[in-house]
Chain A
Amino acid sequence: MDAVTKDGGAAAAGGPRPADQTPADLAPADLAPADLATAESEGRRSGTGLPPIVAVIVDPATYRAALSLVLLLPLGLVGFVWVVATLAIGVLLSITLVGIPIVAASLMGARQIAAVGRQLARWGFQAKIATPPPLAYGGGPIGWLAAVLLDALSWRSVLYLVVLLPMSIVSAVVTIVLIMASVLSPILIAAPWIVRAFSAANRWLAERLLAPVTLSERVRRLQDRRRQVVESAADERRRIERDLHDGAQARLVALALDLGMAKEKLAGGSDPERAATLVASAHDEVKRALSELRDLTRGIHPAVLTDRGLDAALSAVAARCTVPVVVSVDVPQRPSPATEQITYYCVSELLVNVSRHSRASAAAVTVHRVGDLLLLDVRDDGVGGADPVRGTGLRGLAERVESAGGRLVLESPAGGPTVISMELPCAL
């Protein structure tokens, strides 16, 4: 019974997901067929309580595994031929630079072929592998080339396809022989177990090589994020220093100057009218300094965010925007303070951009929570053409969001409208 329950448990729907899956990878459709099949076969097992020797023969998983082992052979052949042919040409030609795009195309092809292998491993061998997100790249053909060449999953796919050829030949031949032998002598008790063993080996291979993220990649990514966090904190300090220096500090100097002159005039008693003008100008100056300081400190962290949450805090941000902004917040359960803080910061910065650059007549901010994700959407009907490559603001925001394990997507075609979507984990 041991082997059966273990097998069933491996694909159980409610079991814990691998830790490295991001929520976006957890689209239910990815895992649904395997889940359904498992629930089915488990129900039967618990209902009949068959001995393992019989159970493994009637278990549809055994036959799915057998079919998949046979199907591996064409996949292994296609994959191997593709990799050897295209990669060899690409590497040879890469002396002339033409080879580099060919290598990239080869890698992308390998990634696609390996994706079929991943599906097969999930369906036939009950492998638990998340669907990798589509390759993200930043702007232009060069960006695409760099992203493809640096994508670890593509290189692992190549490795998988190379190893798969011998593996699939042995798997398929053994399986076909076993099926034929079983037909000739009906009681070949070992056959299902051998199929299971090959299935397990193929599952192991697929899980090692075709998962979106490996542990070492995770470590590297976390190191990157840590560096981004440190850098953005330093940037933030520099920005605050500059704002204070150019704003309130300069105003206070002007104020001291006006008051000093007024004091002179009053002490001399020579020109009370001039003194009154100077005091009035000092008064205006100090009011402007107060208002600038208020904007600055409010941008850092408003108290209302702590005690009333995002919905309340965004009112003042929306009111300050030069464009009418409709804010709608649907977050029944408050996310962590760090998530609220980053979201607040992003909305303030994005609305400053709307005020300064968009030439929009209306903007909308939508925040809502889906499970453990906070989704933010800032859109305006302005001229569009926002480009993270040119302005550092958007890139800084994206880095900040990524450093918190979220992502920020910009859509801003020339002519508008601009839509910036962001997702952040609620627990930070």
Chain B
Amino acid sequence: MRIVIAEDSVVLRDGLGRLLADAGHEIVAAVPDGDGLLAAIATEPADIAVVDVRMPPTHTDEGLRAAVHIRREHPEVAVLVFSQYVEERYAAELLAGSTKKVGYLLKDRVADVRDFIDAVERVAAGGTALDPEVISQIFSRSRRREALNALTPRERDVLAAMAEGSSNAAIAAKLVVSEGAVEKHVSNIFAKLGLSPSESEHRRVLAVLTYLGVTS
């Protein structure tokens, strides 16, 4: 995979480069700001951009704006935004329109190297990776509280994992249950929330997020 990294901290930029190169990927560019990222994407064909939210010059949301720009102008490039904090509002802006080829994770997640690389690969392959923290914020701000309250705790766990972008197999492994059990939970959830059942993973994510009010 060809990867562009945009991160203003030298230590972290180098570290990420090492980590992804170690996993057998090619780092085509590593830049410290949003303008550099857009320039790199315009010149170097890349599969995925890994983007920090806070970068110079204003240190607020330039990475996010660059990511939204890439998703609009270069839909063939997947985008994984990662940040010291995650914000439901940023997630909504990032996911507006499509939940394909997009991820939004806390920086801390790089500590679990295997999971992080899985997320990068999943997003590059067209999937979704949303941080559990984002999902819990989305849950807490959802206007469909009553319907969410109708779910059992287990079903809520499954719904959260679905929104994060996990497949049934991944959910089963995470919650230590059988895949059959997960399928049953999923169909219960879709029934309780009045969603049309969907096989494809990113369509599931879209359905769940639309339901929760993140994307329109």
**How many angstroms from the CA of A319 to the CA of B85 in the assembled complex?**
13
Q: What is the 8 Å Cβ interface bit string for chain B, positions 90-121, against chain A (1 contact, 0 not)?
A: 10000000000000001110010000000000
Interchain nearest-CB distance for A324 vs B (Å): 7
Complex contact B108–A308 (CB within 8 A): no
A17 sits at the interface (CB 8 A): no
Contact partner, A303, options B59, B106, B107, B137, Cβ 8 Å: B59
Give the residues in chain B near A290, CB-CB below 8 Å.
107-108, 111
Interface centre among B84, B107, B139, B145 (most CB of A within 10 A): B84
Interchain nearest-CB distance for B97 vs A (Å): 19
Interface centre among B84, B87, B106 (most CB of A within 10 A): B87
B89 sits at the interface (CB 8 A): yes
**How many angstroms from the CA of A312 to the CA of B92 in the assembled complex?**
10
Complex contact B141–A318 (CB within 8 A): yes
A298 sits at the interface (CB 8 A): yes
Give the residues in chain A near B137, CB-CB below 8 Å.
315-316, 318-319
**How many angstroms from the CA of A287 to the CA of B106 in the assembled complex?**
12
Q: Given A283-B111, A290-B108: A319 and B140 within 8 A (CB)?
A: yes
Give the residues in chain B near A321, CB-CB below 8 Å.
140
Give the residues in chain A near B183, CB-CB below 8 Å.
none
B76 sits at the interface (CB 8 A): no
Complex contact A319–B133 (CB within 8 A): yes
A326 sits at the interface (CB 8 A): yes
What's the count of A-B pairs with C-beta under 8 Å? 69
B61 sits at the interface (CB 8 A): yes
B179 sits at the interface (CB 8 A): no
Complex contact A304–B140 (CB within 8 A): no
Complex contact B141–A298 (CB within 8 A): no
Interchain nearest-CB distance for A306 vs B (Å): 6
Complex contact A294–B84 (CB within 8 A): yes
Complex contact A316–B87 (CB within 8 A): yes
Give the residues in chain B near A327, CB-CB below 8 Å.
140-141
Contact partner, A307, options B60, B86, B141, Cβ 8 Å: B60
**How many angstroms from the CA of A294 to the CA of B137 in the assembled complex?**
15
**How many angstroms from the CA of A1 to the CA of B136 in the assembled complex?**
71
Complex contact A287–B111 (CB within 8 A): yes
Complex contact A324–B145 (CB within 8 A): yes
Interchain nearest-CB distance for B144 vs A (Å): 12
Contact partner, B90, options A298, A304, A319, A324, Cβ 8 Å: A304
A286 sits at the interface (CB 8 A): yes
B202 sits at the interface (CB 8 A): no
Contact partner, B88, options A286, A291, A312, A324, Cβ 8 Å: A312
Complex contact A294–B140 (CB within 8 A): no
**How many angstroms from the CA of A307 to the CA of B106 in the assembled complex?**
19
**How many angstroms from the CA of A319 to the CA of B106 in the assembled complex?**
15
Complex contact B89–A286 (CB within 8 A): no
Interchain nearest-CB distance for B116 vs A (Å): 12
Complex contact A316–B85 (CB within 8 A): yes
Q: Given A290-B111, A303-B59, A325-B140: A316 and B84 within 8 A (CB)?
A: no
Q: Given A315-B137, A319-B140, A324-B140: A294 and B85 within 8 A (CB)?
A: yes
A52 sits at the interface (CB 8 A): no
Complex contact B87–A294 (CB within 8 A): no
A247 sits at the interface (CB 8 A): no
A302 sits at the interface (CB 8 A): yes
Interchain nearest-CB distance for B21 vs A (Å): 21
B54 sits at the interface (CB 8 A): yes
Q: What is the 8 Å Cβ interface bit string for chain A, positions 99-138, against chain B (1 contact, 0 not)?
A: 0000000000000000000000000000000000000000
Complex contact B87–A315 (CB within 8 A): yes
Interchain nearest-CB distance for A310 vs B (Å): 11
Give the residues in chain B near A312, CB-CB below 8 Å.
87-90
Interchain nearest-CB distance for B207 vs A (Å): 21
**How many angstroms from the CA of A318 to the CA of B137 in the assembled complex?**
7
Complex contact B60–A306 (CB within 8 A): yes
Q: What is the 8 Å Cβ interface bit string for chain A, positions 283-309, against chain B (1 contact, 0 not)?
A: 100110011001001100011101110
Give the residues in chain A near B89, CB-CB below 8 Å.
304, 308, 311-312, 315
Complex contact B54–A315 (CB within 8 A): no
Give the residues in chain B near A286, CB-CB below 8 Å.
111
Complex contact B108–A287 (CB within 8 A): yes
Name 9 A/B residue pairs within 8 A (Cβ), A-sorted.
A291-B108, A294-B85, A303-B59, A308-B90, A316-B86, A318-B141, A319-B88, A319-B133, A321-B140
- Chain B interface (Cβ < 8 Å from any Cβ of A): 53-54, 59-61, 84-90, 106-108, 111, 133, 136-137, 139-141, 145
The 6 A-B residue pairs with the shortest CB-CB distance, nearest first, are A312-B89, A315-B88, A319-B137, A307-B60, A319-B140, A315-B137
- Chain A interface (Cβ < 8 Å from any Cβ of B): 283, 286-287, 290-291, 294, 297-298, 302-304, 306-308, 311-313, 315-316, 318-319, 321, 324-327
Other A-B pairs, 6, CB within 8 Å; known A298-B85, A303-B61, A325-B140: A290-B111, A304-B61, A304-B85, A315-B88, A315-B89, A324-B145
